[in-house]
Chains A and B, each alone.
Chain A
Amino acid sequence: MLHGVRAIYLRETLILRHKLLKTLLASAISPALFLLAFGYGVGRGVQVAGSDYLVFLLPGLLTMSSMNQAYGIATEINISRFYFKVFEEYLLAPIQRWEIIVGETCYGITKGLIPVLIIGIYSLLTGVSLRFGPLFLLALVLHLATFALLGFVAAMIVKSHADQATINAFLITPMMFLSGTFFPVEQMPLFIRAVASIFPLTYSTALIRATLTPGAEVNFVLYGVLIGILAVLFLIARRIVAKVEI
């Protein structure tokens, strides 16, 4: 039982182990640049909700960077599906198709933890105190699972690598900048707020920021929102993967 989930997770993590240094570096550089540009450049001396801008920015960077890694499984699935054709191995194996979804999602969650670790180190270096408690962990797992599943769905829908780039350009990049990572969504124009409200990152950023920031009030409804999004994405993934052919 569940040997498919374990096998797929093992495969992905073995590959990750072979390229761990590259993944660590990639996960470290991008948030460091954002931290320098926004935290120490644009945001120097700026106060958001009565706190230093860095206290606002770091949880946003953590959410955005971990999303990038979790969603990034889309590209890996794409390559293994269209280029190396490794995905066929899953389709030929005596495993249920939902096990492929769960195995890949677990891998996305694992991969998304790497930038969390790195930004945890950045918070120590910058002297920003964050609250890494169980509420944060629950929010983080829901957030990573959501974006890993979104990556899986995207990888199953596209017909080529070029399609994947299109999804990134029209969905992931706007989501990164409009979901409250760098600036509070409430300060955006009404139209942008409306757009942000359809992005799952808006909800996970708000929840993760609240669970990480000492003294902030956690809106538990956001857990429900993320669970709802997760459930819908899982059902979509299941429907797609049931029909998938090579």
Chain B
Amino acid sequence: MSCAEALSCSGRPCEIEVAGLSRRFDKTVAVDSITFKVGRGELFAFLGPNGAGKTTTINMLTGLLKPDAGEVRYHGELFDPRRLNVKRLIGVVPQHNNLDRELTAAENLQIHGRLFGMRGQELQQRIDHCLEFADLGDKRATPAGKLSGGMQRKLVIARALLHRPEILFLDEPTVGLDPHSRRKMWAFLRRINQEQDCTVFLTTHYIEEAEALADRVLIIDQAKIIAGGTPEQLKKSAGNYVLDIYNEENIQNEFFTDRPAALQRLEQLDTSVRIRETTLEDVFLQLTGKRIEA
């Protein structure tokens, strides 16, 4: 499968350009010369198993880690974290809820706003807006540590949106949430993308999350990008239909571009077989020989 789709901005103006980005920790290569682009307003998912290099990539894109090689450009300009203005473009939601637990929801946002140079009426109005947007308007005086896991997650996102970033990075935004909260979070992220005029770059190891949310998906495994495209393009490249062929010991998969071809093959088999549409999990399995959430 080609990675050419990683190098496009989906016909939009380019917001992020990453070229040859690499980082190692001692002898471990965490990210190995990855190259991709993200278009303005895209909801972009970086999909891969735990330890694939997703968080290290986000950390390099946001200036928390220095790359060993390669470069990052925002709007065509080389990213240098020492140049402070570029940091105003970026909002970051880390994997862990790094809130001040003793401080109230509003105080957490206040500190963030002050760090970004906001103050006075502008800051208060923005705090009110972001808390309302995250459905936390009635929790403004509640200590962050006393909010539920889902609410804390929303508060971290509201905090990242406070300074009106153009790009929102979310590292595993739904990890630790129950399925119901996860689906509510997906709706929230779609709203952010549409209503806040924000490019959303998220990492996930949940197949269904990437499939449900993303305009475009980049698949990363063992520090390298192995495929990229819209979920439909990725599935089409593997074959839109798949046969699960149940053997005595395992399940074999065969991929087909169309349903009649799959049905024709199904009739030839005298074992237990299931026909279904291809998922991104199948794509990952086909590319790497292993399951993503294993």
Contact = CB atoms under 8 A, between A and B. Distances in A.
A14 B151 CA distance: 22
Contacts of B115: 3-4, 7-8, 89-90, 93-95
A84 B101 contact: yes
Contact of B98 (A10, A84, A95): A84
A85 B84 contact: no
A197 to B, nearest CB: 39
A11 B110 CA distance: 9
A190 interface: no
A245 B65 contact: yes
Interface string A61-102: 000000000000000000000001110111111111000000
Interface stretch (B71-79, B88-96, B258-266, B270-278): B88-96
Given A89-B98, A93-B87, A15 B103 contact: yes
Interface of A: 3-4, 6-8, 10-11, 14-15, 18-19, 84-86, 88-96, 245-246
Nearest to A92: B92
Query: Chain A interface mostly helix, strand, loop or mixed?
Result: helix
Interface string B49-66: 000000000010011111
Contact of A11 (B63, B84, B85, B100): B100
Contacts of A8: 115
B266 to A, nearest CB: 51
B63 A91 contact: yes
B111 interface: yes
A150 B115 CA distance: 24
A88 B62 CA distance: 11
A15 to B, nearest CB: 5
Interface in B163-194: none
Given A90-B115, A94-B85, 6 more contacts: A11-B103, A86-B98, A86-B99, A93-B87, A94-B115, A95-B115
Task: Tell me which of B63, B112, B117 has the highest count of chain A C-beta atoms within 10 A of its own C-beta.
Answer: B117
B116 interface: yes
A95 B100 CA distance: 19
B98 A94 contact: no
